[in-house]
Chains A and B, each alone.
Chain A
Amino acid sequence: MTALIALEDLRITIPTAQGRVLQPVRGIDLSVARGETLAIVGESGCGKSLTALSLMGLVPSPGRVSAKRLTFSGQSLIDLREAEWRELRGPRLAMIFQDPMTSLDPCYTIGSQMTEVMRTHLRIGRQEARERAVSLLARVGIPSPAARLEQYPHQLSGGLRQRVMIAMALSCDPDLIIADEPTTALDVTTQAQILGLLARLQDETGIGIILITHDLGVVATMAHRVAVMYAGQVVETGDTAAVLTAPAHPYTEGLLQAIPTPGRTARGALLGSIPGIVPPPTGAVEACLFTERCPYARPVCAVPVPLVPLPGERAMRCMRPLDERAGEPGYAALSEVMS
């Protein structure tokens, strides 16, 4: 399977005013194939959003991106100039953000925002762009699309605005869509519709999707493969079903135990919880970054841990394989101590 986008050892550093250097992303390997959805999942501050922005050339200054390899359909994206990024963004790479209200310009109609993008990148006329916009809005399930073109963003509900964002992302037939928490701001019923829409569009066009989310329910529904991020590193990656049914890394295991799930967790029972907080993104990595919060931590964990391949195209970043940990008390014991 040839990768649509592939990156090796992606690092992002941000120098601070106080003279320190933050390392929110510390060496990430990822790849996405055509027609595939990769979910990047993690808690706030794990570096998942910055990773997504780096794939669009949008890491805000003074952040610096470096990578051993960062290719998109065979073309290297390392040290691309701003003008070259602009050629890619829109026609080839598109992004959907969490809050469509802030990514749509409140001063312009939906129609003018949609047609402007298409006329710039596809070099088509006003009339043709308009017709294309109507068909795109229809394709994302918006009723009476022609009338919507004349409306302003604030006249649409959150769900409709997110559909408009998706229509705009699709407007130049990109190869890859990066969706950063696309449904976090929406109601559950609307979330299901938007996710269904993305899945259907992927089936129709074979587009690649990188889905950034903190919600393992969204991951389970949408993603073919998943990468779990913690403190700027990928700690576990593999086929979604495999990772979610049999998590290999203690962090993934902790996340899954923390979510109340009808049918799996007993009602009212104590949920597993991960104690402590994410370590600050500074300094060299000298030990497993999860050690302080990990119920399975042992002296052996005090080394920088590599991503170890597992059978079935999986990998994880833990010194203690699953069978070695078997039988140890884990998170359940921790949550009892805490409450």
Chain B
Amino acid sequence: MTAAALISASPRRLALHRLLRHGSFWFGGGAILLILLLALVGPLFTHDPVAQNLGGRLVPPVWDVRGGWAHPLGTDQLGRDLLARLVDGARVSLFIGIATVLVSGLIGTAMGMAAGYFGGRVDLFINFLITIRLTLPVVLVALVVVAVVGSSLTVLVVVIGLLLWDRFAVVTRSATQRLAHSDFVIAARAIGSSTPRILLIEILPNIIGPLIVVATVEVAHAVLLEAALSFLGLGVKPPLASWGLMVAESKNQLLFRPWLIAIPGVALVTLVLAINLLGDALRDVVAPEGRA
């Protein structure tokens, strides 16, 4: 309590201060920034990712004696530049990751807040929905829907978004429940605040921390799911590039030209790891009591 009396910085500045001293934040955030930069400005400097060159097929990367700087990461079985496809794939991965989380975050947060604030029957019903959602095998449902409706980026975003809201709902529900009976919410009701105002202005800013943490986990989750679906041929359609698709297209080259699989694989691992590290750092800062 003596320590608390000494703190005079605003809560936001304190959180920022803790974040900036966190190693995982610098590592994860730095890697994500790098990938984001590559995805945004990379296409200006690389070859056309869909231009085929059957004469220059399966050129190895620059570190191989047969490789050269014309294609730093080599070419694939259709002679397309691997670096250009990697950069293009990064755009797809990041787009899917961020867009699906916007969809699932909106659904899950709205449901969780309604359940936590109103309680009673609303809570029972939403809990029922959450339970149903948890019984659905995500990959299987996504496969079925994509197989029936056909695949496009929009379909992928909607399907994954509609499947990954459960963690948002659960976290939001318990956080809202805790706040719904706090004195400041009762005070807000006593000053005549409308229910939307209470939810959006009083409660939401107080649960945004854990939500950001969930969002990072779910971005990683969505990136992996897209890769898995594309690998199975039900995600992104060629000639559009996707890291999962790149692995799938080269799977019969596994023994002879391993770099074709290793390069998109390493990219995928790096992105997911970076997102998780950033999420860890954010969690330590916004919800240190939940540290496992």
> How distant is the Cα of A24 from the Cα of B5 in the complex, in angstroms?
12
A44 to B5, CA, bound (A): 10
A22 within 8 A of B: yes
Residues of B in contact (CB 8 Å), total: 5
The answer to the question of A309 belonging to the interface, with a C-beta cut-off of 8 Å to chain B, is no
What sequence of 0s and 1s flags, for each residue 1-26 of chain B, a beta carbon within 8 Å of any chain A beta carbon? 11101100000000000000000000
A45 within 8 A of B: yes
Q: Is the CB of A44 within 8 A of B1?
A: yes
User: Chain A: which residue is nearest B21 at the CB level?
Assistant: A17
Whole-angstrom distance between the Cβ of A211 and the nearest chain B Cβ:
20
Dominant SS among interface residues on chain A: loop
- A44, B6: Cα distance in complex, Å: 13
For B3, the chain A residues whose CB sits under 8 A away are 14, 16, 22
Shortest C-beta distance, B1 to chain A (Å), equals 6
- Complex CA–CA separation, A286 to B266 (angstroms): 62
**B6 near A45: Cβ-Cβ < 8 Å:** no
Interface flags, A37-66, vs B, CB<8A=1, else 0: 000000011000000000000000000000
- Cα A45 to Cα B5 in complex, Å, equals 8
Q: Does A295 contact B (CB under 8 A)?
A: no
Q: Report the bound CA distance from A14 to B3 in whole Å.
A: 10
Tell me, yes or no, whether A281 is within 8 Å of chain B by CB.
Answer: yes
A280 contacts B6, C-beta separation under 8 Å? yes
- Give the residue name and chain of the B residue nearest to A22 (CB): B2
Chain B residues, Cβ within 8 Å of A44 = 1
Report B-chain residues with C-beta under 8 Å of the C-beta of A278. Answer: 5
- CA distance in complex: A70, B268 (Å): 62
> Nearest Cβ distance between residue A283 and chain B, in whole angstroms?
12
Chain B residue numbers with a CB within 8 Å of A14 are: 2-3
Further pairs besides A45-B2, A45-B5, A280-B5: 13, Cβ < 8 Å: A14-B2, A14-B3, A16-B3, A22-B2, A22-B3, A22-B6, A24-B2, A44-B1, A45-B1, A278-B5, A280-B6, A281-B2, A282-B6
Chain A interface residues (CB < 8 Å from chain B): 14, 16, 22, 24, 44-45, 278, 280-282
Task: Please list the residues of chain B having a beta carbon within 8 angstroms of any beta carbon in chain A.
Answer: 1-3, 5-6
**What are 16 A-B contacts defined by CB distance under 8 Å?**
A14-B2, A14-B3, A16-B3, A22-B2, A22-B3, A22-B6, A24-B2, A44-B1, A45-B1, A45-B2, A45-B5, A278-B5, A280-B5, A280-B6, A281-B2, A282-B6
7 closest Cβ pairs, A-B complex: A24-B2, A45-B2, A281-B2, A280-B6, A45-B5, A22-B2, A45-B1
